[in-house]
Structure 1
């Protein structure tokens, strides 16, 4: 059975409110989770409602968090998510970075004390649709080893960048630094499915097709040692500039009990009109025209937008186990 975008927003909102999350934070979070579903990214969609609700029950998030801002210099600021759900803090920080870029040409905003922040590309896409280049990176609970190591030190540490294109959808590059996003293991676990070899390792470093063993173990870095070193760069920027916790200091998102993760992100927003009118606009169109001459090229982000457009019209099918889990949580108040 297909569900509309608004139906998914409402269900996620009700589920989060039932867990005690304050209404504005639940509304922001529900919108991003529903957007992930219509984009075909179920690993960051409604499957996360039960996870966040479990974290609320066990005080891993502050359900009544009020975002605080600390200006640093004219074009830079620090946003404190106050241990709440990450979506309100990231939405606010994105808007702030655009405001700073509008004023100064560049806006840099570090974010601290947050939680799982969903699809990184959603924030950069929003800035790009407003006409700005946007880069976002952040750390997540440890799931990958350092190059040469066997212990989880880094998270899958997502990275996204978006570039506005006049009269067209922006180019959106969005990736985690593991071979696949860790949320795909969560989806496979809920469906009772196995995962392909090469996605994850068990806690003792053995290849596995069991998503539950993979969630307890290690994710395989994208590109081997190079993926680990990219994760290190993100770790140093996201934590070093925000004062957040390193990935190895944050307990897994996939455990209901644990500490407040207090993770960090960094947003860099650039006004592409600053160097000279039309330079950026013309140069990116030249590149896109070059891509167009090669029939096999797929522009980054375009598949996501195509899936979104279709889902907004026809609705989207969500895993019934996920929907039932949320409905049960609403009825029971997630067992208080």
Structure 2
């Protein structure tokens, strides 16, 4: 990143929180979303970090958005908890539901959390990492908008439908992955549009259903799933598990709900938490370490390792933020104040 500054995590969270609260978002949501966005920025996920902060204003302008949402979890069973995000940002609801999820998973061995009616926040990995730091295996997924054509199709039907997974480790941070089931995330394609650079042809189609390398044409047309029919099938699974299964929107329904407001997708989010001790006994984590060592023996990178290296560097030197983005945030914040 050129033309950048290095800013401490504490100062960036304070800036993001002030931006959100000055634009009318209640304190609880502002704190939750600010922390999540800065965590992504800290770990080098710039497309899911502060780059998304200006766009929160569009989402908060949606006629159904609730700036005063105060979600509270309620039990469905000994192994299931549900929380209504009340049409605020989903991250606050997820954070509040996770406490009950963790407790149930430790008691029962497997638990699920359904978050409903939340506007999409950012990456999924910060929350599954938090669950895994409590000694649990974690899985999360959600639909988005119907931006992605199924394999063999030519127009949007599925969402980018991210999925995240975290595995706990002794004396080490969890092994974590988080990726969209589209060939690239929508935020990454948008960043290419902003910089005027082409993208690989397999990333998407124009509005005529033809392959394109122009990010603007893909954003106006349809994205493609990764891995052809395999990625398409995984995206379908996520639509069903984090949509109809938990009484939430599919990606097409979420896009209809948007009513052309261009807000972040409003959707459900599914979390699953597993206790490795209940199922695999005391040796479960040791068996996993044997597998992980095989990655390092081959010089391969374990999921999450790069993110943790960037995190360590951010702690030493400050978090990287582009000056133009910071200027834009401060201008928008000044207009709100």
Tell me the TM-score normalized by structure 2. 0.92
Is 1:107 paired with 2:115? no
Q: Which of 131, 142, 146 is 1:127 aligned to?
A: 131
CA apart distance, 1:252? 8.9
The residue that corresponds to 1:248 in the other structure is: 252
Structure 1: stretches of 5+ with no match in the other structure: none
User: CA deviation digits over 1:66-88, x for unaligned, max 9?
Assistant: 21333211110211111101110
The residue that corresponds to 2:12 in the other structure is: 8
Report the CA distance shift for 1:256/1:62 in structure 2 as closer, same or farther (over 3 A). Answer: farther
- SS of the residue 1:205 aligns to: coil
- SS of the residue 2:279 aligns to: coil
Residue pair 1:140, 1:156 contacting (<8 A) in 2 also:
yes
Is 1:310 paired with 2:313? yes
The residue that corresponds to 2:140 in the other structure is: 136
Structure 2: stretches of 5+ with no match in the other structure: none
Give, in whole Å, the separation in 1 of the partners of 2:177 and 2:137: 12
What RMSD, in angstroms, separates the aligned Cα atoms of the two structures? Answer: 2.2
Is 1:18 paired with 2:44? no
Q: Map residues 58-73 of structure 1 onto 2, 5 A cutoff.
A: 58-73=62-77
Is 1:319 paired with 2:322? yes
Residue pair 1:111, 1:266 contacting (<8 A) in 2 also:
yes
Count of aligned positions: 333
The residue that corresponds to 1:213 in the other structure is: 217
Give, in whole Å, the separation in 2 of the partners of 1:182 and 1:260: 11
Give, in whole Å, the separation in 1 of the partners of 2:167 and 2:253: 33
Residue pair 1:138, 1:235 contacting (<8 A) in 2 also:
yes
Give, in whole Å, the separation in 2 of the partners of 1:18 and 1:209: 39
Report the CA distance shift for 1:260/1:283 in structure 2 as closer, same or farther (over 3 A). Answer: closer
Is 1:85 paired with 2:53? no
User: CA deviation digits over 1:267-289, x for unaligned, max 9?
Assistant: 11011111354220221122123
- SS of the residue 2:246 aligns to: coil
The residue that corresponds to 1:33 in the other structure is: 37
Give, in whole Å, the separation in 1 of the partners of 2:237 and 2:85: 22
Residue pair 1:51, 1:256 contacting (<8 A) in 2 also:
no
CA apart distance, 1:265? 1.1
Structure 1 stretch displaced more, 190-199 or 95-104: 190-199
Residue pair 1:215, 1:254 contacting (<8 A) in 2 also:
no
Give, in whole Å, the separation in 1 of the partners of 2:273 and 2:194: 37
Tell me the TM-score normalized by structure 1. 0.92
Is 1:288 paired with 2:296? no
Q: Map residues 34-49 of structure 1 onto 2, 5 A cutoff.
A: 34-49=38-53
- SS of the residue 2:67 aligns to: coil
Give, in whole Å, the separation in 1 of the partners of 2:205 and 2:12: 33
Report the CA distance shift for 1:320/1:235 in structure 2 as closer, same or farther (over 3 A). Answer: same
